[in-house]
Amino acid sequence: MSIVRIPPTLRQETGGEKQVEARGENVRELLVDLMGRFPALHEQLVEDGDIAPFVNVYVEGEDVRTLDGMDTAVREGSTVILLPAMAGGTLGGTQGSPDIPLLLSGNLRFPFPSPLHPLGLPPG
């Protein structure tokens, strides 16, 4: 068994559980086991038989996209973290226009549009 940490945005689908156990020798098998018990997770985690593009999966702190994706090995007792991307909110307050939305990824917040935007679009 491995421990799967469930972020707040997915806890409704797992009955409020912060972490659950799941079996699988690789990420694919582990997700199949997990989604078999919590079917509502399927549309949140998987797209076209692969990890959905807006979801990050980490095995022992390593992003599986930089490893073998769905075929990444999961050892007995491993910790797996599911981290869907989030978007929304505004800067508001003293940091700029309240009309500029935030893109959220984990604990990082980037104003958009921003100097980091690939098209270099100015605000407004």
The pLDDT assigned to 38 comes to 96
The residue ranges of every structural domain in the chain are: 2-84, 85-124
Q: Give the residues of the chain that fall short of pLDDT 50.
A: 90-124
The pLDDT assigned to 6 comes to 95
Which residues make Cβ contacts (< 8 Å) with residue 112, sequence separation at least 6? 100, 101, 102, 103
Q: Look up the CATH architecture of domain 2-84.
A: Roll (3.10)
Task: Look up residue 71 and give its two tokens.
Answer: 């075929």
32-51 pLDDT per residue, tens: 999 999 999 999 999 998 99
Phi, psi of 33 (to 5 degrees): -60, -45
The pLDDT assigned to 88 comes to 54
